[in-house]
Amino acid sequence: LQERTRSLLQLGVERLYSAGAVTVYGLPEFRVLGLGYCGLVVLARWQGRLVALKVRRPDAGKLSLAQEARWLGMANQSGIGPRYIAHTPNFLLMSYLAGEDLLSWVTCRAAAGDAARVQQVLGQLLEAGFRLDQLGLDHGNLRCVTQHAIVQGDAQAVQGYLGGCDRVQLIDFSAASLKRRAANVTTLAQGLWISTAIARVVNQLFPVHKAALIERLRAYKQGRDRLRFEHLRELVLQSKG
């Protein structure tokens, strides 16, 4: 505890907050932004502004967050993910992304019949996957993308990132790798349109024939270039309503 406290002071962390939708140990007064196998993410104050702080769990399989920090910094070069600030073996400091989880956001906009806004956000999400594919960095957790994407409204959006009034950002690069063949676009497309909770909502706005989707996914896998990507994106985001 003393070692971690020193690390926080060295990073310049001024305060930690109990905030977020997730409770720890069932205690309502102990709330965090996120909780996973490798660590938990808490709201913190750094240099007078709110940031997100990932804390490595003592029982985590990984001995350091250095690798995740590297992947996040790499993704940032293409405008993806919360902005990397600093890290130690036990802590990863990054910008705080205030917003809604993807499933809640899409479900709400679909109920309102706002297909254009959903189309914009899903297009950004696929574009982020394409940029990661070009980097050769496989996110590793995009099959369950609803747990790894945050949608920011116009007032929350960060300048310089993927365009549009609503911004979607991928989070949690703990399972990312350069050793696997990057399959971010294909994993995203399958997760958003085939056999998931969000797929049932998305297909109401943008129904896609499964055979046609599989055909274009195969074409994209053969050559992950911009032309094949746009061919795929055109298919899945063409509203039939």
User: What would the two tokens of residue 170 be?
Assistant: 């991928």
Nearest-Å Rg of the Cα atoms of the chain is 18
Burial 179-197 (b: 16+ CB within 10 A, else e): eeebbbbbbbbbbbbeebe
- Looking at residue 158, its pLDDT comes to 43
pLDDT in tens, 35-74: 988 899 999 999 999 999 999 998 888 899 999 999 999 9
pTM: 0.89
Residues in the chain with pLDDT values less than 50: 155-164, 239-241
- Looking at residue 157, its pLDDT comes to 44
Q: What's the rounded Cα separation, in Å, for the pair 4 and 48? A: 21
Contact 207, 235 (CB under 8 A): no
Give the residue carrying structure tokens 């609803």.
Answer: 146
Spacing of C-alpha 56 from chain mean position? 19
- Looking at residue 172, its pLDDT comes to 95
